[in-house]
Chains A and B, each alone.
Chain A
């Protein structure tokens, strides 16, 4: 079985479909929540809590603060539930509440985000060390591989320890990159949903995803070589 085939088994969640506007399922969920169905609330919390935490960590400096912001968000969701009109999806609404709370908290903590966090195209960050390639002026093979990648051994790629290293590499990313790669590749969100939740342009979302994936691939390469 090829690497892609083996990974597909692990990654079935990757292709979950997602809805931007209020769906029939969501209408039922809202009714259950408004009727006080505890199980429905528990499901909602379990579905979004980890993602909320990742997004909050873009704005506030510590994990503890991010956890507070997420708790506040859930309370605000409960308070607003009866007034929610379903003009956006429930998910979009929840993440907007989070972004507002997190920004308010960031101001209180006097933390200003570097402009570059949301405007990544303003700085250069190559996917790979330029030394991996021949000179762009090379007479015969300009910009071709000088140190090419070598295929990864499948048994090591699928080992539990590799997944631990991968999780560490994601954790080590700058906050905005970490949020984008986690929401896209781990949680299976669409590009549009990530743009909405993080208030990013399409291009910037893609640049951040590109940098995050490039860095994580590099970390795996270093571990697997």
Chain B
């Protein structure tokens, strides 16, 4: 592989999601991984994107207020008896 074909760091930051979604064509995936193997900065960048994803997954979904839940259950009881 020649340097002319290698991704720049800037290009890599725009391809991370396609990489993580497994949407890169095999050739580009190989170039992506080659860059990553040689570039500690981009490795940190990818690690930060992964950390962002994992941390987002640790947030709890908004809870329904007890009042809103009671209103919906009330509607359900009405529907049931209709």
Interface residues of A (CB under 8 A from B): 3-4, 7-8, 10-11, 13-14, 36, 38, 41-42, 45-46, 49-51, 53, 67, 71, 74-75, 78-79, 81, 126-128, 130, 132-133, 136, 142-145, 148-152, 157, 162-163, 166-167, 170, 181, 185-188, 191, 206, 209-210, 213-214, 216-217, 220-221
Contacts and interface: CB of A to CB of B under 8 A. Distances in A.
Interface string B45-60: 1011111111111110
A181 B59 CA distance: 12
B52 A216 contact: yes
A143 B72 contact: no
A185 B57 contact: yes
B5 to A, nearest CB: 13
Query: Secondary structure at chain B's binding surface: helix, strand, loop or mixed?
Result: helix
Interface of B: 8-11, 13-14, 16-18, 21, 23, 41-42, 44-45, 47-59, 61-64, 68-69, 71-73, 75-77, 79-80
B10 to A, nearest CB: 4
B14 A127 contact: yes
Given A74-B75, A136-B10, A14 B51 contact: no
Nearest to B54: A7
B41 to A, nearest CB: 4
A79 B79 contact: yes
Contacts of B68: 49, 67, 71
A11 B41 contact: no
Contact of B52 (A8, A10, A213): A213
Contact of A151 (B13, B16, B47): B47
Nearest to A144: B9
Contacts of A133: 8-10
Nearest to B81: A36
Given A36-B80, A220-B48, A186 B41 contact: no
Given A38-B77, A145-B9, A206-B23, A186 B55 contact: no
Given A13-B57, A166-B56, A45 B16 contact: no
A4 B51 contact: yes
A13 B58 CA distance: 8
A181 B57 CA distance: 10
A127 B54 contact: no
A106 B73 CA distance: 27
